[in-house]
Amino acid sequence: MKITVLVGSLRKLSYNRQLAATIGERHRDKFALTVADIRSLPLFDQDEEEDAPQPVRELRRSIADADGVMLITPEYNWSVPGVLKNALDWLSRVDKVMIGKPVMIAGASTGQMGTIRAQLHLREVLAGMRARLLPPAGNEILIAGAAQKFDAATGRLADEATLRFVDEVVGRFVEFVQAER
Amino acid sequence: MKITVLVGSLRKLSYNRQLAATIGERHRDKFALTVADIRSLPLFDQDEEEDAPQPVRELRRSIADADGVMLITPEYNWSVPGVLKNALDWLSRVDKVMIGKPVMIAGASTGQMGTIRAQLHLREVLAGMRARLLPPAGNEILIAGAAQKFDAATGRLADEATLRFVDEVVGRFVEFVQAER
Amino acid sequence: MKITVLVGSLRKLSYNRQLAATIGERHRDKFALTVADIRSLPLFDQDEEEDAPQPVRELRRSIADADGVMLITPEYNWSVPGVLKNALDWLSRVDKVMIGKPVMIAGASTGQMGTIRAQLHLREVLAGMRARLLPPAGNEILIAGAAQKFDAATGRLADEATLRFVDEVVGRFVEFVQAER
Amino acid sequence: MKITVLVGSLRKLSYNRQLAATIGERHRDKFALTVADIRSLPLFDQDEEEDAPQPVRELRRSIADADGVMLITPEYNWSVPGVLKNALDWLSRVDKVMIGKPVMIAGASTGQMGTIRAQLHLREVLAGMRARLLPPAGNEILIAGAAQKFDAATGRLADEATLRFVDEVVGRFVEFVQAER
């Protein structure tokens, strides 16, 4: 199984990037996780969508080839980071590779709310793109207080209870992807 | 009065760009309208926010100098375009020039709903950034069926009823900006 | 096939009630449509949920027996009417008869926006209740300008283009219900 | 100063009812807090709005007389309780007593998220009703883990850090009400 992940933060020590790495390592027996390069994307310009720049074409191909997509992202200003939304805007046009694609959402933040507002917006975006979302109730990965739950030395999620819950949701997502095939 | 406008679409013939131009021309007796260059912004990267690239510093300065801000934007995938959100993400950090800034929202689309979903998300984003929004009820510029309401030859909004409503809202925004001073 | 419909308005000449009747009559070969009595429900009180009043028990039974549920509702104050939300609050507790239940949403309004804000909120409510929603993209019944599209004499939806679209969505919902069985 | 509070839960031991009582007692030097009777309201029926039942008329009068309104509410099914929305639907019609009224929102829940989704919806409802909301950023009373923060013996909020924050927000609301007069 091939999963492509888009990480909504570009900073090097992003907890969300670390969460993606944690998931990829712990579940490598179930799927190969590829972190998409969304930093190289230009800002979306409809005038260029037909003859899209190389990084856009590569991202489209990665999503088209994937069995499922993970969106792991912080919340910026009570919503989805522009960086991530820009990638989704490119993916919604011309090839429309997100249609019908199984998608799982997760997020980590240093605050109390764990990116819940970003996830609410993101689910509407994905409904508009006709992706197939893992149903949210019971599957919301909202990691609050990230500074205490990630290990600064290893750069991996280390909180046991949180890891257990993340593993459960990832397990349900794997089944969800298989059921979609 | 100085107003800076951010246009959420980069395409040349964008109806929203034309709406910005229409507003600037019709109200030049009341304010000078500057269209911010958000195309030159890099994707937001928190690692670079303190020592931000030149286009970010220029945008911050333009907003800091403005008496008010207009956000005129299409809706992409039932939400705010990544291009616009990326600009707002830069503006929310370090100098935080949007705090307390009077803001007006408008949008045009070829469909029936006139960007209403984008505006709902945008208002939450702006509440999170502590901007001061023109209250939406009675002031929602949601131009549906844009292809019929803009003049392709002049590239300006031409529908009389819509122009009247836009003028009214802009008038209320001017008062709102003055009241904030 | 048995479908139970909850209508979000209690007024006698409600367009949404007329829409429910229109759908029931046009598709009687495919399903029997029952309009639930939500007017008789008391306001939700958690202290009474275990030993619920008779109208609550009847509503639970009607939903439990149904193959699918339609929610046909106006928008009040940019959201779901309290009348409808009150019914859903009762249905979310104790027996939890909405879990996994196929649901379709529709709405009519005299204004331009056709209840879109109510539907956005309603979809989040239903996701929280673990219902199974017909995916919204392409299936949004948002009847704007209802006064022109309903026939005052017959009390039925009469606009041909709108009827065609409603029939298509209902057809997809019937398939969605059958696929869920 | 007179403040009317609507509590979104009808159950006797509601944490939100206790939060209302806590606020009323701690700030009795600043305002008199009246808990509105919303349990006696019938379900909203537009056919009855002009000649409204007695409890509706009393609620309208209480809001009209108040200098400000507090909405203190749990979250039901990721949104506003039907009980509270029903009261707001009555208040939005005929006399429209909420227009321009200063409003503060608060909520307590036993879960992690502290009613944030309900508050997001409630703010859109109030924007639609043209109420004047205390700006949310920095003023969000989202009491998570309520079972640990309220004293079961006294039925009052007892957590010191939370009390301090609630007092601060109430203080800002008092200033906000005075500024509006």
Residues 6 or more apart from B102 whose CB is under 8 A from it? B67, B68, B69, B131, B132, B134, B173, B176, B177, B180
Determine the residue of chain D that is closest to A77 in CA distance: D137
Using an 8 Å CB-CB cutoff, list chain D residues near B137. Answer: 127-130
pLDDT tens-digit profile of C140-179?
A: 999 999 999 999 999 999 999 999 999 999 999 999 999 9
C32-35 and C102-108 strand pairing: unpaired
Tell me, yes or no, if D142 comes closer than 8 A to chain A by beta carbon.
Answer: yes
CATH 3.40.50.360 fits A2-178, yes or no: yes
- Closest chain D residue to the Cα of C98, Cα to Cα: D77
Check D10 against C121: CB less than 8 A apart.
no
Contact D104, D37 (CB under 8 A): no
> With b meaning 16 or more CB within 10 Å and e meaning fewer, what string describes B155-180?
bbbbbeebbebbeebbeebbebbeee
D101-127 mean pLDDT: 96
Residue A157, pLDDT above cutoff 60: yes
DSSP string, chain A: -EEEEEES--STT-HHHHHHHHHHHHTTTT-EEEE---TTPPPP-GGGSTT--HHHHHHHHHHHH-SEEEEE---BTTB--HHHHHHHHHHTSTT-TTTT-EEEEEEE-SSSSTTHHHHHHHHHHHHHTT-EEPPSTT--EEE-SHHHHEETTTTEE--HHHHHHHHHHHHHHHHHHHHH-
Q: Please measure the distance between the N-terminal and C-terminal CA atoms of chain A and give it in whole angstroms.
A: 11
Q: What is the pLDDT of residue B152?
A: 96
Which of A103, A116, A119, A124 best probes binding to C when mutated, by most C CB atoms within 10 angstroms? A124
> A66, A46, A41, A69: which is closest to A56 by C-alpha?
A41
**Measured distance CA(A132)–CA(A104) in Å, rounded:** 9
Comparing alpha-carbon positions, the chain B residue that sits nearest to D132 is: B135
Structure tokens of C48?
A: 């009474």
Distance from CA of A146 to the nearest CA of D (A): 15
Q: Cα A55 from chain centroid?
A: 18
pLDDT beyond 80 at A158: yes
- Tell me: the pLDDT tens digits for B25-37? 999 999 999 999 9
- pLDDT single digits (tens) B91-140: 999 999 999 999 999 999 998 887 999 999 999 999 999 999 999 999 99
Cβ contacts from A onto D, under 8 A: 18
CA distances in angstroms from C121 to A16, A181, B112, C80, D79, listed in the order given: 28, 31, 19, 7, 8
Pairing status of strand D68-72 against strand D102-108: parallel
The closest alpha carbon to C60, from C35, C36, C27, belongs to C36
- Model confidence at A181: pLDDT above 70: no
Give the Cβ contact number of residue B105 at 10 Å. Answer: 24
Q: How confident is the model at residue C112 (pLDDT cuts 50, 70, 90)?
A: confident
Q: What is the largest CA-CA distance in chain C?
A: 48
Give me the pLDDT at residue B78, please: 97
pLDDT tens, position by position, C11-35: 999 999 999 999 999 999 999 999 9
How many Å lie between the alpha carbon of B27 and the closest alpha carbon of chain C?
Answer: 27
Q: Tell me the mean pLDDT in the region B28-49.
A: 98
What is the number of H-type helices and E-type strands within chain D? 6, 8
Q: Would you call B101 an interface residue with chain A, using a CB distance cutoff of 8 Å?
A: no
- For the segment A120-131, the average pLDDT, to the nearest whole number, is 98
pLDDT score at D13 = 97
**Contact: D89, C78; criterion CB under 8 Å:** no
What does the pLDDT average to over C111-119? Answer: 91
Residue B86 scores a pLDDT above 80: yes
CA distance C29 to chain D (A): 32
- Please tell me if residue C47 touches chain D, with a CB cutoff of 8 Å: yes
Residue pair C88/D82 in contact (Cβ under 8 Å)? The answer is: yes
pLDDT score, position B114? 79
Q: What is residue C180's predicted lDDT score, i.e. its pLDDT?
A: 63
Mark yes or no for CB contact B142/C116 under 8 Å: no
Q: Do C130 and A124 touch (CB under 8 A)?
A: no
Please give, rounded to a whole number of angstroms, the shortest distance from the CA of D47 to a CA of chain C. Answer: 5
**Three-point CA angle A117, A120, A123, nearest 5°:** 145
Beta-carbon contacts of D48 under 8 Å, excluding residues fewer than 6 positions away, are: D42
Q: Reply yes or no on whether the pLDDT at D181 is more than 70.
A: no
Q: How far apart are CA A150 and CA A15, in angstroms?
A: 7
Could you tell me which residues come within 8 angstroms of residue B37 by beta carbon, excluding any fewer than 6 positions away?
Answer: B55, B58, B59
- The residue ranges of DSSP E strands in D60-162, in sequence order, are 68-72, 102-108, 132-133, 141-143, 150-151, 156-157
CA C83, C88, C93, C96 dihedral sign is positive
Confidence of residue A34 (pLDDT cuts 50, 70, 90): very high
CB pairs under 8 A between A and B: 122
In sequence order, which residues have a C-beta less than 8 Å from that of residue A124 and are 6 or more positions away? B78, B79, B117, B121, C120
Nearest C-alpha neighbor of B159 from the set B104, B103, B105, B114: B114
For residues C81 and C73, is the Cβ–Cβ distance under 8 A? yes
Cα distance between residue C139 and residue B84, in whole Å: 28
Q: Provide ipTM, 2 decimals.
A: 0.97
Q: Residue B181's pLDDT is what?
A: 54
Determine which of B124, B126, B176 to mutate to test the interface with D (most D C-beta atoms within 10 Å): B124
Q: State the pLDDT at residue D112.
A: 86
**Taking a contact as any Cβ pair under 8 Å apart, which residues of chain B between 108 and 137 contact chain C?**
112-114, 116-117, 120
Whether the CB-CB separation of C113 and C142 falls below 8 Å is answered with: yes
State which residue of chain B sits closest to A123, comparing Cα positions.
Answer: B78
Q: How far is C142 from chain B (nearest CA, A)?
A: 10
Contact assignment for D117 to A116 by CB distance below 8 Å:
yes
Rounded distance, CA D143 to CA C29, Å?
51
Radius of gyration (C-alpha) of chain D in whole angstroms: 15
d(Cα A130, Cα A124) in Å, to the nearest integer? 10
The pLDDT of B135-150, averaged and rounded, is: 97
Distance CA C16, CA C74 (A): 7
Interface mutation vs chain C, best among D85, D97, D99, D129, most C CBs within 10 Å: D85
Interchain contact, B125 vs A83, CB within 8 Å:
no
Q: Give CA–CA dist B65/A99, Å, rounded.
A: 43
The bridge status of strand A2-7 relative to strand A32-35 is parallel
Does pLDDT of D129 surpass 70? yes
* Neighbors of chain B with 3 or more C-beta pairs under 8 Å: A, C, D
CB-CB: which of C11, C41, C45 is closest to D10? C45
- Cβ separation of A127 and C120 shorter than 8 Å? no
Test D92 with C76 for CB contact under 8 angstroms: yes
Chains in contact with C via at least 3 Cβ–Cβ pairs below 8 Å:
A, B, D
Rg (CA), chain B: 15
Q: Does the reported pTM lie above 0.95? A: yes
For residue D113, what pLDDT band results from cuts at 50, 70 and 90? confident
Strand partners, B108: B143
DSSP-derived letter for residue D47 is G
- What is the token pair recorded at C157? 């939806």
Six-digit token string for B37: 């260059």
Query: Across residues D59-82, what is the average pLDDT?
Result: 98
Q: Is B180 on the interface with D (CB under 8 A)?
A: no
Terminal Cα-to-Cα distance of chain D (whole angstroms): 11
- Which pLDDT belongs to residue C124? 98
Return the number of other C-beta atoms located less than 10 Å from residue A29's C-beta.
5
Domain segments of chain B as ranges: 2-178
The 10 Å CB-count burial string (b at 16+, else e) for C11-30 is beebbbbbbbbbbbeebeee
Q: In chain A, whose CA is at the least distance from the CA of B120?
A: A121
The answer to whether the CB atoms of C138 and A130 lie below 8 A apart is: yes
